[in-house]
């Protein structure tokens, strides 16, 4: 028995030695792993975020210039610029100000201020005073807005910390001068206490960014699906990084900023060109998971470390989006305009969200949504209102760029928003409606006349409308990257490695458990069952012949 025990233990030793050799990534050597049961990617991220105390040397409440009397936003901005002379100049160059993709020539008009289209409220042109309530500026009422005006920059919306500063929804970016009720939500908007808000300024928090980004598309959770008001004060279960009971990250913890340029994807430009960790470049932006977690974040030998070259962290670590608030998944403009007793009306449905609105048409909202998955290299291409479409099939307004062969592409989760929206039957382009405006302006929400609305909208965008329109199905994608769940709530292997799984429709590569080789399986089972049948008959033959002999 001793020899047997020796053999077994030698074998077990050899197995574990080989595992140790092949399974240990180099990263471990560079780290002092505090808890050896913890994944190195967590340790690394914890070290990168250890120093959380932010210290400043200025108390804005004691600045003399901020004791002055202010009556408008631009007056405050001038006061800010009296010390921060370069701030407006920096900000003027950013996409937050121009609403145009800074990485393509302005003539191409890529961006909200240009000819970019979505399948929500479609486009800004002609609708400025409503849309620009989310512009970090004052007075973008129409195309005559002066983008060179330094005083028109709204410092407060991003930097004030009282939580009382509100821009009026239809005020072209201005707060009100006297208390005013907004009919859209029946809320009263009060003029800001300018001195108080100006003296409160600090680094942007989740609430500052969320003022606009939680409400993109005109309401909570309309657009993104992974960004809504639930992220203002999330718990760890909703977002492991931002959770108040977790790391309590602000947005800018990852969206690191240079010269007021906030890191993140802009249209076709990826958020980062390389997935570098801070070990490789300590000045890199922290926008990628890999920045802090490295590209082998799991424990040595864990298969998930092998997936990081082709599967984005988000794909497994955000099992569902819209986990607290519902998000809009479909918008059908073709149903707009129905009236009850001659009057516009609205209906509420599940999740307390509208399912119908005469102004906008029909909606579908969903909670706990499983993402769609596409190859994605960080770049999203899109058509504009100038591009011709094929109305015989659903139109992809934007789509993730990347494929299996692209080394920068990963399988990435997306929200896909389904739309049905107007297009020009003759020109074969998507149409820009003028939605917002007073009666007589041609605005759809005042007159319910689509033709007038397209005339005005396309005119404002400098584009032509033939006069003939219909509605076409469209799709619009949003990458899902927020609402990262704690490590116990991840997508299970089988959810993708199965025929009917999450990646069932992602073609172009072989994946174990999902794909099978029909011919080989048929041949294999014939071989196995054939053997089984043969030995069964052979056995039966023996049984019969021996019983005959005995009998």
Partner 1 sequence: MTGKKMVNTYLYTRYERFWHWLQTALISILLVTGFEVDGFYTLLGYKTAVEVHNFVGLGWLIAFAFFVFWLLTTGEWKQYVPTTKKMFTVIHYYMLGIFRGDPHPVPKRKDAKHNPLQRIAYLSVAMFLLPLQMISGFLYWSYNSWTAWGLDWLSLPVVAAIHILGAFGVLSFLVGHIYMTTTGHTLFAHIRAMITGWEEIPEGVELEDWEKRQRKGHQASESEAPSA
Nearer to partner 1 by C-beta: 298 or 482?
298
Q: What radius of gyration, in Å, describes the C-alpha atoms of the chain?
A: 29
Q: Does 467 help bind partner 1 (rule: CB under 8 A)?
A: no
DSSP 138-202: S---STT--TT-GGGB-SHHHH--SS-----TTTTTPPPSS-EEETTTTEEEPPP-HHHHHHT--
What's the min distance (Å) between Cβ of 47 and partner 1? 26
Q: Does 504 help bind partner 1 (rule: CB under 8 A)?
A: no
What's the min distance (Å) between Cβ of 29 and partner 1? 18
| Structure tokens given for 218 | 């005109």
Q: Quick one: which of 146, 233, 470, 523 contacts partner 1 (CB under 8 A)? A: 523
Q: Does 103 help bind partner 1 (rule: CB under 8 A)?
A: no
Using the contact rule CB under 8 A, the part of the chain among 6-14, 81-89, 106-114, 458-466 near partner 1 is 6-14
Contact 256, 263 (CB under 8 A): yes
Q: Quick one: which of 24, 38, 103, 516 contacts partner 1 (CB under 8 A)? A: 516
Contact 468, 459 (CB under 8 A): no
Q: Does 163 help bind partner 1 (rule: CB under 8 A)?
A: no
Q: Does 9 help bind partner 1 (rule: CB under 8 A)?
A: no
What's the min distance (Å) between Cβ of 42 and partner 1? 19
Query: What is the x/- site pattern for partner 1, positions 346-385, by CB under 8 A?
Result: ----------------------------------------
| Structure tokens given for 350 | 């599940």
DSSP 466-505: -S-EEEEEEEEEEE--S-PPPTTS---GGGTSSTTSTTTT
Contact 97, 147 (CB under 8 A): yes
Contact 298, 39 (CB under 8 A): yes
Distance of CA 372 to the CA centre of its chain: 13
Number of residues that bind partner 1 (CB under 8 A): 46
Q: Which one-letter DSSP state was computed for residue 299?
A: P
Nearer to partner 1 by C-beta: 83 or 543?
543
Distance CA 416, CA 505 (A): 14
Residues 6+ apart with CB under 8 A from 6: none
Q: Which one-letter DSSP state was computed for residue 447?
A: H
What's the min distance (Å) between Cβ of 525 and partner 1? 7
What's the min distance (Å) between Cβ of 10 and partner 1? 8
Query: What residues between 257 and 316 interact with partner 1 by CB under 8 A?
Result: 303, 306, 309
Residues 6+ apart with CB under 8 A from 137: 97, 145, 152, 153, 154, 173
- Taking each continuous run of H as one helix and of E as one strand, the counts in the chain are 16, 17
Nearer to partner 1 by C-beta: 303 or 439?
303
Using the contact rule CB under 8 A, the part of the chain among 59-67, 214-222, 235-243, 536-544 near partner 1 is 536-544
Nearer to partner 1 by C-beta: 406 or 515?
515
Q: Does 535 help bind partner 1 (rule: CB under 8 A)?
A: yes
Distance CA 321, CA 477 (A): 14
What's the min distance (Å) between Cβ of 305 and partner 1? 9
Query: What residues between 15 and 44 interact with partner 1 by CB under 8 A?
Result: 15, 18-19
Q: Does 55 help bind partner 1 (rule: CB under 8 A)?
A: no
* Residues forming the site for partner 1 (CB under 8 A): 3-4, 7-8, 10-11, 14-15, 18-19, 303, 306, 309, 492-494, 497-499, 509-510, 512-517, 520-521, 523-525, 527-528, 530-532, 534-535, 538-539, 541-542, 545-546, 549
């Amino acid at each position: 028995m001793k020899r047997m025990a020796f053999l077994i233990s030698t074998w077990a030793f050899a197995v574990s030695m080989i595992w140790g050799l092949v399974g240990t990534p180099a990263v471990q050597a560079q780290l002092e792993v505090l808890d050896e049961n913890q994944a190195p990617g967590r340790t690394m991220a914890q070290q990168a975020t250890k120093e959380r105390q932010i210290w400043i040397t200025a108390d804005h409440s004691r600045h003399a210039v901020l004791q002055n009397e202010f009556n408008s936003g631009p007056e405050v901005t001038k006061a800010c610029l009296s010390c921060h002379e370069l701030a407006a100049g920096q900000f003027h160059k950013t996409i937050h100000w121009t609403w145009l993709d800074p990485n393509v020539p302005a003539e191409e008009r890529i961006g909200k201020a240009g000819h970019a289209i979505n399948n929500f409220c479609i486009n800004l042109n002609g609708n400025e005073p409503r849309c620009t309530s989310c512009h970090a500026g004052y007075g973008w009422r129409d195309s005559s807005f002066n983008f060179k005006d330094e005083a028109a920059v709204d410092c407060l919306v991003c930097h004030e910390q009282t939580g009382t500063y509100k821009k009026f929804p239809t005020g072209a970016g201005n707060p009100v001068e006297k208390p005013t009720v907004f009919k859209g939500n029946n809320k009263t908007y009060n003029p800001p206490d300018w001195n108080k808000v100006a003296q409160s300024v600090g680094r942007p928090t989740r609430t500052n960014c969320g003022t606009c980004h939680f409400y993109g598309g005109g309401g909570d959770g309309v657009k993104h699906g992974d960004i809504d008001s639930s992220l203002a004060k999330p718990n760890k279960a909703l977002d492991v990084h931002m959770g108040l009971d977790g790391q309590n990250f602000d947005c800018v913890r990852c969206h690191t900023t240079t010269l007021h340029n906030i890191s993140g994807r802009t249209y076709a430009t990826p958020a980062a060109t390389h997935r570098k960790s801070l070990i490789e470049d300590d000045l890199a932006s922290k926008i990628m998971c890999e920045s802090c977690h490295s590209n082998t974040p799991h424990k040595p030998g864990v298969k998930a470390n092998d997936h990081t070259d082709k599967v984005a962290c988000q794909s497994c670590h955000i099992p569902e989006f819209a986990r607290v608030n519902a998000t809009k998944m479909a918008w059908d403009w073709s149903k707009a305009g129905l009236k009850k007793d001659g009057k516009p009306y609205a209906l509420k449905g599940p999740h307390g969200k509208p399912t119908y609105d005469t102004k906008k048409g029909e909606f579908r909202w969903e909670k706990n949504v499983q993402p769609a998955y596409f190859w994605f290299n960080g770049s999203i291409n899109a058509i504009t209102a100038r591009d011709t479409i094929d109305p015989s099939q659903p139109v992809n307004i934007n789509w993730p760029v990347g494929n299996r062969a692209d080394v920068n592409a990963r399988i990435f989760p997306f929200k896909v928003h389904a739309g049905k929206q107007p297009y020009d039957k003759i020109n074969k382009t998507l149409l820009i409606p003028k939605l917002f405006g007073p009666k007589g302006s041609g605005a759809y929400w005042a007159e319910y006349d689509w033709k007038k609305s397209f005339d005005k909208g396309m005119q404002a965008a400098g584009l032509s409308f033939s006069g003939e329109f219909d509605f076409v199905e469209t799709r619009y994608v949003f990458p899902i990257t927020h609402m990262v769940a704690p490590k116990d709530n991840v997508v299970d292997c089988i959810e993708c490695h199965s025929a009917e799984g999450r990646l069932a429709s992602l073609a172009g590569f072989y994946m174990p458990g999902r794909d099978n080789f029909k011919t080989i399986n048929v041949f294999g089972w014939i071989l196995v069952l054939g053997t089984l049948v043969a030995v069964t008959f052979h056995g039966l033959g023996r049984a019969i012949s021996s019983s005959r002999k005995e009998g």
